Structure 1
Amino acid sequence: MKKILVIGTGNDCRSPIMEGWLRYYSSSEAEIYSVGYSQSEVNKLAIKVMMDSMIDITGSESNSIDDLPEKEFDYIINIAEEKGREVIDELPGNPMIIEKTSQDCRTLEGNEEEVLRKLAAIRDSLEDFCFDFVNENIRAIIPGDLSNKINSTD
């Protein structure tokens, strides 16, 4: 079974969202973990936008690298940029490292409705990434011949 680690800034918004999507799409064919280089409480609005997509991340906890039961991974998805690379350097093994950029949820401004709309856009972007990642690396969500037809320019 493949092991995937998502590294976020505070493991409070984007990384729990990604963990939720990766769990959903991998359908128990991968072990998914997420950590932050700093810990904070999981963002309540992140929980809300995921519930809007019928994905329950209420059980998510903000974890640090020291909380990991597993230390070797097949894939590491870094959304914390430079700080995430510092965490990666501490881990053993030779994982495939994937850098994913996304707006930090803590920088979103506006009233709650505006923030929710912006956060939903981040959620949708991360969902697309997670779907493609799982389809290409963990299990075929779209069968090969159907995928070729979808991607065909004819």
Structure 2
Amino acid sequence: MKKVLVLCTGNSCRSQIAHGYLNQLAAGKAEIFSAGVETHGLNPGAIATMLEDGIDISGNTSNNVDEYTHIDFDYVITVCDNALERCPVFPGAVRQLHQNFPDPSKFKGASEEENKAEFRRVRNLIKEYLQNFVDNNL
């Protein structure tokens, strides 16, 4: 079974959303991990937006990438430029992929509904990217 790590800055939002989708999209094909180059705790907006799409990530934890340096990953997917710049080197034949997604937790809309809409927009971008990843790599 393939091992996939999704990496972002704080493992609170984008990588958690990606982790949730990959658990669903790559079920039986890959073991999924997520981490941050820092840990910021799970973002409530990420939890809520994923629940709207039928995926519960509320039991996930915010992990630091250093916890996984002993794992031979097949893929490391960085989902923000900061994580790409700070990503450690992993041993073995790991394939690194990168797609910079906006951080919905940094969006400051004029209303709560605008903030929720940004979470949904980023969630959908991540979902589409990962569906393509799974279809072409796993």
Q: Same fold (TM over 0.5)?
A: yes
CA distance in 2, matches of 1:41, 1:56: 16
Task: Indicate conservation of the 8 Å contact 1:9/1:84, yes or no.
Answer: no
Q: Report deviation, 1:69.
A: 7.8
SS at match of 1:51: helix
Task: Indicate conservation of the 8 Å contact 1:11/1:35, yes or no.
Answer: yes
Q: Aligned residue for 2:80?
A: 80
What is the CA RMSD across the aligned residues, in angstroms?
1.5
Indicate the structure (1 or 2) with the bigger Cα radius of gyration: 1
Q: Aligned residue for 2:61?
A: 61
**Superposed structure 1 runs of 4+ greater than 4 Å apart:** none
SS at match of 1:40: coil
The 3 A distance-change label for structure 1 pair 22 and 83 is closer
Q: Aligned residue for 2:124?
A: 124
CA distance in 2, matches of 1:113, 1:73: 38
1:85-116 Cα shifts (integer Å, max 9, x gaps): 43232x21221111111101232112321111
CA distance in 1, matches of 2:72, 2:7: 14
TM-score of the superposed pair, with normalisation by structure 2: 0.92
- The alignment of Structure 1 onto Structure 2 pairs a total of residues equal to 137
Where structure 2 has 5 or more consecutive residues not aligned to the other structure, the ranges are none
CA distance in 2, matches of 1:65, 1:38: 8
Q: Report deviation, 1:70.
A: 4.9
TM-score of the superposed pair, with normalisation by structure 1: 0.83
